[in-house]
């Protein structure tokens, strides 16, 4: 009888430990996903109509598929080409916003591909992979991709390009960007945003 009681106590104790451990694991996983994905976590919850578990399953699946991805370094000459091309696209924006947004969208897709992310032809998969490694910067890319395909207003396109620039800077940077940082280091190495995207203003009374 004593043996049965002891066994029962041990079984109950073990079950309690397992239940508590699983609860902590779930909580820790949720906190880890929220910290890793930041605004993408909240977006996933909203997309799942507030279902936190469904959102965490979705984000966990992204980590499973793309978490082991290692970003490929850019040769210095390729990096310089991307920097020059992005600057040219931004200068083009004042005269042809839609064309500039389309070219910037394609440029980011190529850059992500060169860094080892899925091909830009599969935008959703590329964005999912980028969100695992650059979660704080992908919303701008998503907005710009949509603006490149819709008849967006000039101001909406301008805001999308400004926001997408953060992902460009993160991908073109020589050093690895901390995923918890909202502002990546800029390619000039001084912490500056080297390509301000503001429409050119003509002097009052000027005809040029």
> What pLDDT is stored for residue 31 in this prediction?
87
In a domain, 6, yes or no: yes
Among the three residues 66, 91, 110, which one is the final residue of a domain in this structure? 66
Q: Let me know: does 130 contact 105? Beta carbons within 8 Å.
A: no
If asked whether residues 85 and 155 sit together in one domain, one would say yes
Among the three residues 66, 86, 112, which one is the final residue of a domain in this structure? 66
> What pLDDT is stored for residue 81 in this prediction?
97
In a domain, 98, yes or no: yes
DSSP 85: H
**How does pLDDT run along the chain (208 residues), one tens digit per residue?**
566 545 654 556 555 444 444 443 343 368 899 999 999 999 999 999 999 999 999 999 999 999 999 999 999 999 999 999 999 999 999 999 999 999 999 999 999 999 999 987 889 999 999 999 999 999 999 999 999 998 789 999 999 999 999 999 999 986 554 444 444 444 443 333 444 444 444 334 433 3
> What pLDDT is stored for residue 150 in this prediction?
86
If asked whether residues 162 and 81 sit together in one domain, one would say yes
DSSP 185: P
If asked whether residues 80 and 167 sit together in one domain, one would say yes
> What pLDDT is stored for residue 76 in this prediction?
94
Smallest Cα–Cα separation from 147: which of 137, 135, 159? 159
Sign of the alpha-carbon torsion through 31, 35, 38, 41: negative
Q: Number of C-alpha atoms within 13 angstroms, CB side, residue 109?
A: 17
> What pLDDT is stored for residue 12 in this prediction?
61
Predicted TM-score (pTM) of the model is 0.71
If asked whether residues 82 and 132 sit together in one domain, one would say yes
Neighbours of 96 (CB within 10 A): 11
If asked whether residues 54 and 96 sit together in one domain, one would say no
If asked whether residues 10 and 83 sit together in one domain, one would say no
Domain extent at residue 168: 76-172
Among the three residues 17, 41, 66, which one is the final residue of a domain in this structure? 66
> What pLDDT is stored for residue 2 in this prediction?
63
The structure tokens 């460009």 sit at 168
CA distance 193 to 177: 15
Smallest Cα–Cα separation from 138: which of 149, 116, 152, 123? 123
If asked whether residues 104 and 133 sit together in one domain, one would say yes
Task: State how many domains the chain has.
Answer: 2
> What pLDDT is stored for residue 3 in this prediction?
62
If asked whether residues 88 and 154 sit together in one domain, one would say yes
> What pLDDT is stored for residue 176 in this prediction?
52
Coil, helix or strand at residue 52: helix
If asked whether residues 18 and 94 sit together in one domain, one would say no
In a domain, 183, yes or no: no
| Cα→Cα distances 135→15, 23, 132, 155, 194, Å | 37, 26, 6, 24, 22
If asked whether residues 164 and 109 sit together in one domain, one would say yes
If asked whether residues 57 and 89 sit together in one domain, one would say no
If asked whether residues 62 and 92 sit together in one domain, one would say no
> What pLDDT is stored for residue 15 in this prediction?
53
């Amino acid at each position: 009888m004593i043996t049965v009681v002891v066994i029962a106590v041990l079984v109950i104790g073990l079950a309690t430990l397992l239940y508590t451990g699983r609860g902590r694991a779930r909580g820790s996983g949720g906190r880890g996903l929220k910290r890793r994905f930041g605004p993408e976590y909240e977006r996933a919850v909203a997309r799942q109509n507030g279902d936190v578990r469904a959102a965490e399953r979705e984000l966990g699946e992204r980590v499973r598929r793309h978490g082991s991805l290692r970003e490929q370094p850019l040769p210095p000459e390729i990096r310089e080409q991307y920097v020059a091309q992005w600057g040219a696209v931004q200068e083009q924006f004042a005269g042809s916003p839609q064309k500039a947004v389309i070219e910037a969208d394609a440029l980011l897709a190529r850059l992500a591909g060169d860094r080892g992310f899925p091909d830009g032809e599969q935008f959703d998969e590329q964005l999912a992979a980028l969100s695992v490694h650059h979660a704080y910067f992908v919303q701008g890319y998503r907005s710009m991709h949509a603006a490149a395909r819709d008849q967006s207003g000039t101001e909406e396109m301008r805001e999308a390009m400004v926001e997408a620039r953060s992902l460009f800077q993160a991908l073109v940077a020589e050093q690895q960007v901390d995923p918890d940082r909202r502002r990546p280091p800029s390619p000039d190495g001084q912490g500056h945003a080297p390509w301000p995207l503001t429409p050119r203003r003509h002097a009052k009374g000027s005809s040029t």
